Structure 1
Amino acid sequence: MEGDKASGCDGLVLINCFVSPYGNRVRIALKRKGLEFEEKPENLAAKSPLLLSSNPVHAKVPVLLVGGKPVCESLVILEFIDEAFPGAGEPLLPAAPCARAHARFWASYVDTKLPECAGRVWRSPKGAAAVEEGKKDLVAVLKTLEAELGAKPYFAGDALGYVDVALVPFAPWFLTYERLGGFSVAAECPALAAWAERCARENGCVAKSLPEPEHVFQFVCGMRKMFGLD
């Protein structure tokens, strides 16, 4: 798979799994910048030697290989792309230091809060107390993000930015959270649900980078079956 246009950036290889919100952040950023890249799909149940050698500390996707040299951790990669290719496309982070710090805070909030409580929803056995507790905490996290979004089209204002790119790859997972947690994101957080739709509708880099929600759900069902959760 390649980005939309070449920009003199030979040697970019993204190691990713198609359902990974973290890897798909990087896909969005590369496409938004118009950078040409190769994508190597990863099977997380049988990790490849390339992944293990590229990220020996965590053995996780994504990894961006730049001329063969690995850059790891998705938020780190986003900032690397912004800094390494300043003339390509629009910047992800704002120019003002305070605004940059603000964006970093909210992206960190996403990674610190959302995956943990969402994981309790989809990784717990049916009927377990952890599912209900995870759902409650997940809705609280989403409401906090919705409050930060406010009436703005995007988190930084009028254009897709760093926090949007950090958060929107979780949107295809909303269906899985809803089905396993017994709630509706659109009912609980209508403005956030509308924001997710806007991100894909108005930004080709988003629409082209995210999996179908049903495919994510089927992937999770397979994982749950493998681990005896259903």
Structure 2
Amino acid sequence: MSSPAAVKVIGAFDSPFSHRAEAALRLKGVPYELILEDLRNKSELLLTHNPVHKKVPVLLHGDRPAICESLVIVEYVDEAFQGPLLMPADTLARAAARFWASFMDKECGESMWMALWTDGEAQAAAARETKTNLTLIEGQLPVGKRFFGGDAIGYLDIALGWIAHWMRVFVEISGARLLTEEEHPVLCRWAREYTADETVRQCLPDRDRVIAALTPRKELYISIAKAMAAQR
């Protein structure tokens, strides 16, 4: 296992993907320095260490090559440092966790974005698809357990963490209704458990501050969603 010395995260305060990297480090008990990035005016540090996607988060660990992409970072942190395991110990369970994390970011993420920011039939169709996908994800919660990781927060909880915090922000800005107690009570209960966790709370950005930061981008989000809908 590696030393936690000289661990840095290049991130953005309102990014759910940066949160993944921070949550993994905190849950493993690894001290780190957070370098906040202005994504509208990207620094040379970010562009040097993530020249491919030019996005946050980026993990810097001593003099090793930079590690990019949030879920890759979570797995690296789990393997590189001592502390509670984030990935399941069972091989099949690890594969399943990776599958559902990918499903969330790709299939569910796309439909959810269109459900939030389009209108008319496109919005209605995307909302139906999103709710179906959320039901599938809800079904992965182990019966009688607080988290997808069981009794403690694990890899899949971190991967889905933006549902718990950022979805509520986006819903408030957009006015869409996607995750409700009536339709997904178990997932809503999990969301409360996740955001109430003492360790996770330390790297969750203030909700009102996130709303203030993201609201001016609403028109941009709408244009992106419409472009996505047109490609379907």
State the TM-score, normalized to the length of structure 2. Answer: 0.84
Contact 1:132-1:181 within 8 A present in 2 as well: no
- 1:19-64: per-residue Cα shift (whole Å, max 9, x none)? 2111101110000111111111111112111111111111111100
The counterpart of 1:111, out of the listed 94, 98, 105, is 105
Q: Provide the residue aligned with 1:64 in structure 2.
A: 59
Q: Distance in 2 between matches of 1:33 and 1:10?
A: 14
Aligned to 2:148: 155
**CA distance in 2 between partners of 1:114 and 1:218 (Å):** 25
**Corresponding position of 1:34:** 29
Q: Does 1:139 align with 2:143?
A: no
CA distance in 1, matches of 2:112, 2:27: 27
- CA gap of 1:227–1:191, structure 2 versus 1, over 3 A, is closer
* d(CA) in 1 for partners of 2:15, 2:42: 14
Alignment partner of 1:186: what SS?
coil
Determine if contact 2:163/2:191 at 8 Å carries over to the other structure. Answer: no
Residues 118, 177 of structure 1: 8 Å contact kept: no
Query: Displacement, 1:193?
Result: 1.0
State the distance in 1 between where 2:178 and 2:116 align: 15
Rate the CA distance shift 1:137–1:228 in 2: closer, same or farther, 3 A. Answer: closer
Gaps of 5+ in 2: 224-232
Alignment partners' CA distance in 2, 1:10 and 1:58: 26
CA contact (8 A) 1:120 1:134 kept: yes
Contact kept? 1:25, 1:74, Cα under 8 Å: yes
- SS of residue matched to 1:156: coil
Aligned equivalent of 1:166, options 159, 166, 179 = 159
CA offsets per residue over residues 107-152 of structure 1, 9 Å max, x none? 111112232122224444xx45443333222222212111221533
Q: CA deviation at 1:156?
A: 3.0
Distance 1:99 1:228, change over 3 A: closer
CA contact 2:131–2:178 (8 Å) conserved in 1: no
Q: Give the Cα–Cα distance (whole angstroms) in 2 for the partners of residues 217 and 228 of structure 1.
A: 16
The correspondence for 1:77, drawn from 67, 73, 77, is: 73
The residue that corresponds to 1:219 in the other structure is: 213
Q: Secondary structure at the match of 1:148?
A: coil
Instruction: Name the aligned partner's letter for residue 72 of structure 1.
Output: C
Identity across the alignment (%): 37
Larger deviation, residues 44-53 vs 177-186: 177-186
CA distance in structure 2 between the partners assigned to 1:227 and 1:166 by the alignment: 22
Q: When the two structures are superposed, what TM-score results if normalisation uses the length of structure 1?
A: 0.85
**Judging changes above 3 Å, is the alpha-carbon distance between structure 1 residues 9 and 52 closer, same or farther for their aligned structure 2 residues?**
same
SS in structure 2 of the partner of residue 15 of structure 1: strand
Q: Distance in 2 between matches of 1:28 and 1:9?
A: 15
Give 1:181 shift. 4.4
CA RMSD of aligned residues (A): 2.2
Aligned to 2:199: 205
| Residue in structure 2 matching 1:195, options 178, 190, 193 | 190
